[in-house]
Structure 1
Amino acid sequence: MRIETGLINRKGQQFCELPASATVAAAEKSRAKKNRRRQRKPMQAAVVQKLFNACKEVFSGSEAVPSPSDVERVRSVLDTMTPADVGLNRDIPLFRKIGTEGAPPITYLHLYECSKFSIGIFCLPPSGVIPLHNHPGMTVFSKLLFGSMHIKSYDWADIPRTANEIVNPSHFQPSGVRLAKVKVDDVFTAPCNTSILYPAAGGNMHRFTAMTSCAVLDVLGPPYADSEGRHCTYYRDFPYARFSGDMDLELGSEEGGVYAWLEETEKPSDFFVVGDKYRGPKIVEN
């Protein structure tokens, strides 16, 4: 049996027919050549795997805060990440607000966790809120993958020396609340740079409020661990004038900036986080 391979070229000339065996052999030779080319070209690692590899090396030591070069290494990977790199898009049902009263639940996708670091994604529907909370002894990278989000963050503030000399410190800082300085109070829209917070700087206490459906990839190093004193504490914030009395000008002239008072509180009763399966590229432990 012969395979009709005669074709007409653009000038109307007919190509000669080839035996079927010769045609098959030529096709096999072509496929073999393509396979060799594929083998010579190494497969590119998934971006999420690159993130894991960087975190594994950066957080392998005992230092509470990675070196600036190590911080940059993790940030450089996160800055390139897109929703597609973790198998997400805003049309997935978990980003839709359910028609119920109160704050909508937040979905958490677990990618990886060990004693040194964790990687996960918070998926927030519109109006979703992650309440004000801290990250004790931790360095945290947050990458907004898509959407718009309002972030408000604080660092603990020291009472100015001049204030201590003029007034009783217990009067300046009432019992049960602690002075904090606003680090960030703004709306961020993807694509934007990765934000980084440290144990004592960068906005260690923060609150996320979703303006639209959005997803945030978080790297925590090390992760929360009650047994090691890294317990998540929630706060409510009060305007500085609430407890400052006559000290507004004194504090402002000493440090400048915007201040508030933070009070520890229980986890808000309307804050729910539910887990879901991560369906993006898998992380391979090596």
Structure 2
Amino acid sequence: MCIFCFPTSAVIPLHDHPGMTVFSKVLYGSMHVKAYDWVEPARFQETKGPGYRPVRLAKLATDKILTPQYGTSILYPKSGGNMHCFTAVTPCAVLDILTPPYNEDAGRKCTYYVDYPFSTFSAVNGADNEKEEYAWLSEIDTPDDLHMRPGVYAGPAIQV
């Protein structure tokens, strides 16, 4: 369980929650969410040049601003926008409950991505009619400028 507190314009870059279900609720403020799900069966494109990683086709699941009135959103391991990024429109806080928790040994490691417009790479059969709903995602290293500060547990509010 985590509570993320964002100043205006703060970003958690595009990332995933592999094999996990996540319940999210905006507690105050407003936050833009852009989220994708993988297209199945998987479709990959090779990129050019040494050191370039292949891209995988994803379909846009969500692209909207969330507020406390929105309610709780749920993402599942393979649907609901498992690859997503957050951008604070105003100062805001988000409660996330992740289950099961991240565990690299069990294959639940957070991966970061960059998204490219569908038109960046060659066309894929079956997706031409709705190009704006698709993007190519490429895995990237954890961004150097990503800094999350852990909260401090002060113990129980009432001592007996």
TM (norm. structure 2) is 0.85
Residue 252 of structure 1, CA deviation: 3.5
How many angstroms does 1:278 deviate by? 4.8
1:277 corresponds to:
152
CA deviation vs aligned residue, 1:182-208 (integer Å, no higher than 9, x gap): 000011122221110001011010100
Opposite residue 10 of structure 2, the aligned amino acid is G
Look up the match of 2:138.
263
Provide the secondary structure at the position in 1 that maps to 2:121. helix
Q: How many angstroms apart in 2 are the aligned matches of 1:147 and 1:127?
A: 12
Partner of 1:140: 22
Q: Do 2:114 and 2:140's aligned partners in 1 also have CA atoms closer than 8 Å?
A: yes
- Is 1:124 the equivalent of 2:6? yes
Matching residue's letter, 2:119: A
Shift of 1:145: 0.3
Is 1:251 aligned to 2:123, yes or no?
no
Q: 1:151 is paired with a residue of what secondary structure?
A: strand
After superposition, where does 1:42-61 map in structure 2 within 5 Å?
A: none
Partner of 1:228: 106
Give, in whole Å, the separation in 2 of the partners of 1:143 and 1:224. 19
- Tell me the C-alpha RMSD between the 2 structures: 2.4
Q: Matched residue of 1:244: which SS?
A: coil
Contact 1:127 1:209 in 2 (8 A): yes
1:194 aligns to 2:72 (yes or no)? yes
Listed as ranges, the matches of 1:160-179 within 5 Å are 173-174=45-46, 176-179=54-57
Deviation for aligned residue 1:158: 2.6
Q: Higher helix fraction: Structure 1 or Structure 2?
A: 1
User: 1:256 Cα shift?
Assistant: 7.5
Larger RCO (CA under 8 A, 6+ residues apart): 2
Closer, same or farther: CA 277–137 of 1 in aligned 2, 3 Å: same
- Which whole-Å deviations, capped at 9, do the CAs of 1:8-40 have from their partners, x for residues lacking one? xxxxxxxxxxxxxxxxxxxxxxxxxxxxxxxxx
Choose the corresponding residue for 2:34, options 152, 160, 165: 152
Aligned in 2, Cα 1:252/1:159: closer, same or farther, shift over 3 Å? farther
Partner of 1:88: none
**TM-score normalised by length of structure 1:** 0.49
Unaligned 5+ residue runs, structure 2?
48-53
Instruction: Give how far 1:251 is off.
Output: 1.4
**1:276, CA displacement in angstroms?**
2.0
Q: Is the partner of 2:69 in helix, strand or coil?
A: coil
Q: Deviations over 1:202-248 (max 9, x none)?
A: 10101000011100000000010111111000000000000034x47
Matching residue's letter, 2:46: P
Native 8 Å contact 2:118 2:131 kept in 1: no
The code of the aligned residue for 1:271 comes to: L
Whole-Å Cα distance in 1 between the matches of residues 79 and 15 of structure 2?
14
Task: Identify the structure with the greater strand proportion.
Answer: 2
Q: Is the 8 A contact 1:240 1:259 kept in 2?
A: yes
Tell me the number of residue pairs that the alignment of Structure 1 and Structure 2 aligns.
Answer: 151
Q: Name the amino acid aligned to 1:124.
A: F
